[in-house]
Chains A and B, each alone.
Chain A
Amino acid sequence: MSAMLEAVGLAKTYRIGRRLTVPALRGVDFTIPEGDFVAIMGPSGSGKSTLMNIIGCLDRPTAGKYVLHGEDVSRKSDDQLASVRNRMIGFVFQNFNLLPRQTALLNVELPLIYRGVPARERRRRATAALDAVGLSDRASHRPNELSGGQQQRVAIARALAGTPSILLADEPTGNLDSRSGEEIMALLQRLNDDGVTVVLVTHDDDIASHCRRIIRLRDGRIVDDRAVVDQLDARVVLSRMPPANGDQPEPAASGGAGAEGAGAPGAGAYSNGATHGGPGEAGTL
């Protein structure tokens, strides 16, 4: 597999005032191939967020080189980085960050607006992305009408709508109960199976063991980088959990509905270099 993401001697030093400098990253090298599923772990202050910000093109390294999908993005301007983010990065945040007054569908359309995709095409792709996360029946709902897990799935749909090269998730399950968290992991695993490259930050060993690989940071350096031996399958974990209560709809149901609806485009919307998979996959969540 080709390298989706390559960091060479990546360093970031924050300046506080004129004299004080804080080295947050002290030379980090790694390569993430296309289709990888990486958890970044480490104690607080070890540089996880700093690294994610650079990977996500929200920030620039003070030294070293960062190549994303063959493009050196370490020295680009703010607006150039915005455009790179728009085309290549999908963000999922711990606190979802949905626009509260907009419907799920419009939230998902957001990255496409800034890409200049025409309204009709935008709607088609956003619908497909919502379908892919099993929420096609919630398209016209506002965030406050959705459960935390559903909100996070809308956020994932938003990240997918622009068919990014890489999905970045900073503690995506941090604000969710364990079942919703597991459902999110099942979704991410399925997307990853479909070829989406995923990098997430987590404190939770259980969450991390859903990934293929764990990179551990300490004091701005990589102290450990290895493949996960017993990768957890979220579907299996979910099947052992007590059934969902109340407002959490079984994702399988909505996924099935999606298969009948805008099914086929759904696959195209989120999977790049997809190995297999279709909307029916959502039903197996």
Chain B
Amino acid sequence: MMKSLDILKIGAFGLTGNKLRSALTMLGVIIGVAAVIALVSIGQGATLSVTSRIQSMGSNLVIVNPVRGANLTMDDVKELPTRVDNIAAIVPDMAGMLTVKWENKNVQTTVDGTTEQFPDVRDFGAEEGRFLTADDVSGRRRVAVVGQTLLDTLFDGNPAIGQTITINGQRFTVIGIMTKKGATMGRDQDDMIYVPITTLQRLRGSTRVGSLYIKVIDGSQTADTVAHIQGIFDQKFGREDSVSVRSQDELLSTVNQMTGTLTAMLAAIAGISLLVGGIGIMNIMLVSVTERTREIGLRKAVGARRIYILGQFLTESILMSLFGGAIGIAVGIMASRVISKMAGWTTYVSPTSIIISFGFAAAVGLFFGVWPAMKAAAMDPIEALRRE
């Protein structure tokens, strides 16, 4: 209707009356919305990177981790497939930060002891040269497959295969280079050296392995397999929950739950600042209504119904929150990028978070604008006109 359009115009014009004040009021909403967008993007970025990290471990995985003194050994690695049907491949994992030396260069890197089955389980392997073989493992050979980051950090771009490196004082021959994997969650997956676990155990004087990565044959049977493996270890160690056996899906859902909670907490904190912005709107609108009592009286005298006055002031508060919301989204996206750059975190601004925070901002404008607008609409024109 054309009258509503005029009311909207009157409301919009009202905002231009005290531009600085309108801008400062909007700033409250801008900060609130930007905070929601930026903080939620951190939470969602964390979810995303943890998820991709877990997915990058391979597919159809079951991971066994020892709990309090339950030591896993190579015997478990050999025995488990004979007792559980659904196992396609199994590798132990024993990683540690060690000093690696080539010629006169030293670097600290993660050295991972594993077996020839690693590529089957983790879905990636050597790109050049070869990966570890069963003979390397059984023969405790001092061979190493290096991640691509080390080509730069250790070898300075020189051909790596065939070179001799020193790990904790022991000499290893480089036999292969891994496929590039990239970084997830700020951790470089290519800053790794893979050696036979047997060799690494001897180097460290230990028979333990850290954890087991198992690839199942039939993904639909994973739950049964998990229960079976749990039973075997609980029996072996003589207590319940001696090890933690988690399927990748379970891990994903646990992690998603955690990051979801994180996101919700961040959103709540940011939401509070948006509420404060809303209170700012209410505050200014109350002041504005009081200041403009005479104007309201005049409008009513010349025939403005309650609803028109209500509409006029609601328009003001909603426009402030909508503009603030729109600017806040832009600022939030920028902030999220800056955070990602500066802190090196993955951030992700989802369309949902934009829509929700914009909607929330609009709702805040409406909610906190209603009371001042109703105050204006309910004014007695006689009283209002008398006011100086």
Tell me the A residues contacting B by CB distance below 8 Å.
Answer: 53, 56, 58-59, 78-79, 82-83, 85-87, 91, 93, 97, 99, 101, 110-111, 113-116, 118-119, 158, 162
Contacts and interface: CB of A to CB of B under 8 A. Distances in A.
Contacts, number: 62
A59 B129 CA distance: 97
B6 interface: yes
B377 to A, nearest CB: 10
A83 B304 CA distance: 8
A114 B299 contact: yes
B17 interface: yes
B305 A85 contact: no
Contacts of B17: 101
Interface of B: 1-3, 6, 10, 13, 16-17, 294-295, 297-308, 381-382, 385
B382 A87 contact: no
Given A58-B382, A97-B294, A91 B302 contact: yes
A109 to B, nearest CB: 9
A97 B385 contact: yes
Q: Chain B interface mostly helix, strand, loop or mixed?
A: helix
A115 B299 CA distance: 12
Contacts of A118: 2
A53 B303 contact: no
B230 to A, nearest CB: 73
A99 B302 contact: no
Given A58-B381, A58-B382, A115 B303 contact: yes
Contacts of A93: 385
A110 B305 contact: no
A184 to B, nearest CB: 19
B302 A79 contact: no
Contact of A85 (B13, B303, B307, B385): B303
Q: Which 8 pairs between the two chains have the least Cβ-Cβ distance?
A: A86-B303, A111-B302, A116-B3, A114-B303, A79-B305, A82-B305, A97-B298, A85-B303
A110 B10 CA distance: 10
A122 B196 CA distance: 90
A79 B381 CA distance: 12
Given A53-B382, A101-B17, A78 B306 contact: yes
A249 to B, nearest CB: 26
A78 B303 CA distance: 10
Given A97-B294, A116-B2, A116-B3, A82 B304 contact: yes
A86 B305 CA distance: 9
Nearest to B388: A95
Nearest to B1: A116
B164 to A, nearest CB: 84
Nearest to B4: A116
Contacts of B305: 79, 82-83, 114
A79 B382 CA distance: 15
A58 B301 contact: yes
B12 to A, nearest CB: 13
Contacts of A91: 301-302
9 contacts: A58-B381, A79-B307, A82-B305, A85-B303, A99-B295, A101-B17, A110-B302, A114-B299, A114-B305
B298 A87 contact: no
A111 B2 contact: no
Among B17, B297, B299, residue most surrounded by chain A Cβ atoms (within 10 Å): B299
A99 B302 CA distance: 12
Given A78-B306, A97-B294, A113 B6 contact: yes
Nearest to B295: A99
Given A97-B301, A111-B302, A114-B305, 4 more contacts: A53-B382, A97-B298, A99-B298, A116-B2
A91 B6 CA distance: 22
Nearest to A170: B385
Contact of B382 (A59, A110, A114): A59
A159 B17 CA distance: 25
A87 B302 CA distance: 9
A119 to B, nearest CB: 8
Contacts of A79: 305-307
B304 A114 contact: yes
A111 B303 contact: yes
A85 B301 CA distance: 7
A114 B3 CA distance: 7
A86 B381 CA distance: 13
Contacts of B10: 113
B288 to A, nearest CB: 13
Contacts of B307: 79
B381 to A, nearest CB: 5
Given A116-B2, A116-B3, A118-B2, A82 B300 contact: yes
Nearest to A52: B382
Contacts of B300: 82
A97 B10 CA distance: 17
Contacts of B382: 53, 58-59
B321 to A, nearest CB: 23
A86 B298 CA distance: 11
A91 B1 CA distance: 27
B168 to A, nearest CB: 80
Contacts of A86: 302-304
A78 B301 CA distance: 11
B8 to A, nearest CB: 12
Contacts of B295: 99
Contacts of A113: 3, 6, 10
A83 B6 CA distance: 17
